[in-house]
Structure 1
Amino acid sequence: MGKITEINTGYDKILKLLEGEDSQQVAGDDVIGTPVATRVYDLIYNGSYIAAAIVKKIAKAMNSGWDVDNEDLKDWLKNFPVVYVAKCLIKYGNCYLEVIRKKNGEISRLLPIPTNTIAKIKGGGYKQQVGAKFSYFNEFTPLDQRDKQKKIWIGTGAPTKELKYNKLKQSCGYNPNLNEVIHLMDQETDNKRYGKSMFESCMHQLLLLRYIDEYYNAYFDNGCIRLSLFHVKNLKENEEISDENRKIFADFMKEQAKGLQNAHKTLLIENELGKIDLTDELDANQWISYRRELQKSIAMAFEMPYDMIDSSDANRATSTSALEAFYSYTIVPLQNIILGCVENIVEDDPKWKDKKIEKIAFLKMNTKNLKEESETVKNLVTNKIITINEARKWMGYAPIDGGDILIGGDQTNLTLGKEDIDTIKKTKALLQAEINDLSFSK
């Protein structure tokens, strides 16, 4: 079959992400590797506009502000890297923060550690490596446990700036020369050491979206030409290709012209040439339609209303119930991981430990559809079901003078059927329960 030349090879091969990828984290007997390399998730995030958009939207929603009953702690928490932690938890299922303490044990700040540079080690503790440089960190260790853990570390014989596993104690102990690391992780996994990325449940869909984009990139980068094969045309008239040459041709096609990395490639074979078009005309509408369905599947995996991603969708989903589901099943669990971290800090830090701080929470995300809620409240007020001040309280406004009496009744022009009345009664019961839990805004 003559000498073969490739033209317009386009892109490098995409990593076979689902078949596994070597971790870039530290390798060694003392290190416990992650189930999936962080690089896999980085490639998905960096190569998918929808993955990046989802991460940013969730992280922004999580950063709703603090509801704390201590002003000093509230000020301190303003520097807590909520958005960074949120992005790491969504992308990797794990986040690492270096704890910087004062000599008296107070925690002055928390510094983010790049997730793809650090790994757990046997017996507790962490090892970070960047290039040839490495550093060890203690696990977050409460002050009242330091002395006991320090004795274990001394018994391991580890160097001054390192940790070493003690088989008998099954621990590395606490090295007073090292800083600590707080490890935040998604708990929805059977793995006790590492959390699970939120990408994992929709990785196939995210990869398919990436393949579609790569396909179009190759199509346009290569001049919008169809995949073609220029072949030897030296057969005599009516002469058929031999079985041997058919097999050679089939094997050649499998190796050279199949797969995304070879999209829109042109192949030349020396000698007199003929041409075969190997693909049909590009059906852009089919690809666009399939991409939209993939996006919807990904949004479902994150419990996210689809029109938060694509506002052009006709089936708009940002109803109050859809937003509440997004808030309850996606935002709150991630916020609870951060709250658990903050509570551990408050319990251990001498500055906060004795302050009797009872309330640490995030401000609740507003999931109400304002137009729908306004219409409901209007009906309730004009039909003498709630007072103006009860309505104002529910909508988040301060009371007004004279707003505690029922108004409406006969002067309303509303015509209500039995279903309307039943709906209002049910709404009133739910509303009253919610009103009882609210405080007037100042």
Structure 2
Amino acid sequence: MLGFKASCRGIKGVDMPFLCKRISVPRPVSSQVSELSVDVRGVQPLPFDIAAVAKFYQEDPDVFIAVNTIASAVCGRGFEVVGGLPEEEANAAKGEVEQLSQEETFMEVLKQVVIDLNLLGNGYLEVARDRRDRPAAVYWVPATQMQRKRDMSGYVQSASGKTVEFNNYTPDPDRRAELRRAGRWRQGANEILHFRLPNPNSRYYGLPPTYTVAKDILSDAACKDSNMAFLQNGLCPDYAVLVKGGTVSEETVKMLKEYLRDAHTGPSKHHGFLLLEAVAGPGGERVEIELVPIQRHGDMQFVKYRQSNIEAKVRAFRVPMSKAGINQYGRLGEASSLGEDHTFKYQVIEPQQTMIEHAMTRMLQRDMGYEGAEFRFLELDIKDESETARTAALLAGGAPILTVNEARAMMGLPPVEGGDKLPDGGLGGENGRRV
């Protein structure tokens, strides 16, 4: 970045230009904006209110769960470097990638980018170079602060009244030199790796899933507010005591209060006995005392409407309902869950992983000099770990056939008499043992 010393002591004692602010004195992301003033009139405005969409993450639990479920599935298992490299060189490449993050692990930084990607449709990874013009550090840049230049030559970050420019991430050194000669490269500025979700209406920004279900999110919030208002203002006493033809003494009133407060509730109170005394009026009329229920007992309002809103929000992210903590009646059990997991893995997780893998592979090969290296996320295993362990144990034992009781044990069922033997007929040997 401009405006700083020409070089400083940074990673492993290597002299690096323009990195003093970020490497020698780490500061929060909100403070990582320089004093550099630029004309931001050349940026392309966002097609939606990104601040309003960002609020959904902290105000709507379903959005929070869905976004973090995807981010954890994309990044949670870590990564490896594969390809035609010797093992020692592949490990060195992986170590160099991990060292790009100064304050957190590389996967933690990448997870923040993926959270922005799924919440806001766009995720930004900043790349800083050392004096040798190689990647030296990466940072997460909040998507709420970023805008793309209209001519697509770079990006502008705005925060706290300050702005800073970035170049597009360009791993090819020849291409960077060409851009410098053409005057389309801002000298000293860091670069941005921009990940975005598909958006047919914009070539600048991705479309956040939350934007497509904004009405459902707002409707669900309105239902919550309505129920809260009812709980605060719509409740009333359970009973009213009506006395006809006379009056009751203060002692009787006290007894009624105690009864209504304590004695008429609980499993041991349903056979309770209450004796009330009343004084007849001057005409000697018959006195009647009646307990009249006035509280309206019922479910909270909008239950089905809220359920519809919640399911719409989760579907927008294509996260399985079970992973979002939602139980659905009429499901087909494990088979249905496994089908949802397959869809989640192959239609949601893998496309995002492939997008990031492609960018990081370019960095490894062209920017770091590891020809043939490929960045790969460790795959999400959709099988239950216990089932995988049972299958492995079965195969390790060389057992092509199970006895009845072995099969029942794997299903969690009790053994049955005679279930430890295999029937004769070519499948069993002496004493019913497997052959």
User: CA separation in 2, counterparts of 1:371 and 1:293?
Assistant: 34
Query: For 1:38-437, what aligned pairs fall within 5 Å after superposition?
Result: 38-63=50-75, 64-69=77-82, 70-75=90-95, 76-77=97-98, 79-80=106-107, 81-123=109-151, 124-141=153-170, 142-153=172-183, 173-220=184-231, 223-224=233-234, 284-310=299-325, 312-315=327-330, 319-349=337-367, 351=368, 353-357=369-373, 359-369=374-384, 392=395, 399=396, 403-404=397-398, 407-408=400-401
Correspondence for 1:238 = none
1:33 matches 2:62: no
- Counterpart CA distance in 2 for 1:310 and 1:39 is 27
Q: CA deviation at 1:286?
A: 4.0
Report if the CA contact (8 A) 1:320-1:369 is conserved: no
Deviations 1:131-186 (A, max 9, x none): 32111111112321122211222xxxxxxxxxxxxxxxxxxx00222111111111
Paired with 1:223 and 1:286, the residues of 2 have a C-alpha distance of: 14
Please state how far the C-alpha of 1:48 moved relative to its aligned partner.
Answer: 0.8
In structure 2, distance between residues paired with 1:313 and 1:374: 29
AA aligned to 1:408 is I
Q: CA RMSD in A?
A: 3.2
TM-superposed deviation, 1:44: 2.1
Residue 368 of structure 1 and its aligned partner are, at CA, apart by: 1.6
- The aligned amino acid for 2:43 is V
Count residues in correspondence.
292
CA distance in 2, matches of 1:325, 1:407: 31
1:31–1:315 distance in 2 versus 1, CA, 3 Å: same
Q: CA deviation at 1:407?
A: 4.7
* Deviation of 1:187 (Å): 3.0
Q: CA deviation at 1:328?
A: 1.2
CA contact (8 A) 2:93 2:370 kept: no
Equivalents in 1 of 2:195, 2:297: separation in Å?
Answer: 46
2-structure distance, mates of 1:210, 1:27 = 39
Q: Distance in 1 between matches of 2:377 and 2:224?
A: 38
What SS class does the counterpart of residue 307 from structure 1 fall into?
A: coil
1:284 and 1:211 mapped to 2: Cα distance?
A: 17
C-alpha distance in 2 between matches for 1:283 and 1:367: 41
| SS at structure 1 position matched to 2:41 | coil
Deviation at 1:33, TM superposition (A): 0.8
| 1:62–1:82 contact (8 Å) kept in structure 2 | no
Distance 1:74 1:119 in 2: 31
Alignment check: 8 A CA contact 2:121 2:209 kept: yes
Could you tell me how far apart the structure 1 residues matched to 2:225 and 2:93 are?
48
Distance 2:159 2:354 in 1: 31
User: Which consecutive residues of structure 1, in runs of 5 or more, have no partner in the other structure?
Assistant: 1-25, 154-172, 227-279, 378-387, 393-398, 416-442
User: How far is the alpha carbon of 1:68 from its aligned partner?
Assistant: 1.9
Offset of residue 346 of structure 1: 1.5
Q: Which amino acid aligns with 1:197?
A: P
Q: Distance in 1 between matches of 2:66 and 2:224?
A: 18
Q: Letter of the 1:180 partner, please give it.
A: E
Q: By how many angstroms is 1:201 displaced? A: 3.1
Name the CA distance, whole Å, in 2 between partners of 1:356 and 1:371: 36
CA distance in 1 between counterparts of 2:53 and 2:363 reads 29
**Structure 2: unaligned runs, 5 residues or longer:** 1-37, 83-89, 99-104, 237-294, 408-435
| Counterpart-to-counterpart distance in 1, 2:42 and 2:234 | 52
Q: 1:122 to 1:412 in 2, by over 3 A?
A: closer
How much does 1:88 deviate?
0.5
- The residue identity in structure 1 corresponding to 2:217 is L
- Given the superposition, is the C-alpha separation of residues 283 and 108 from structure 1 closer, same or farther in structure 2, using an over 3 Å criterion? farther
Normalising by structure 1, report the TM-score.
0.59
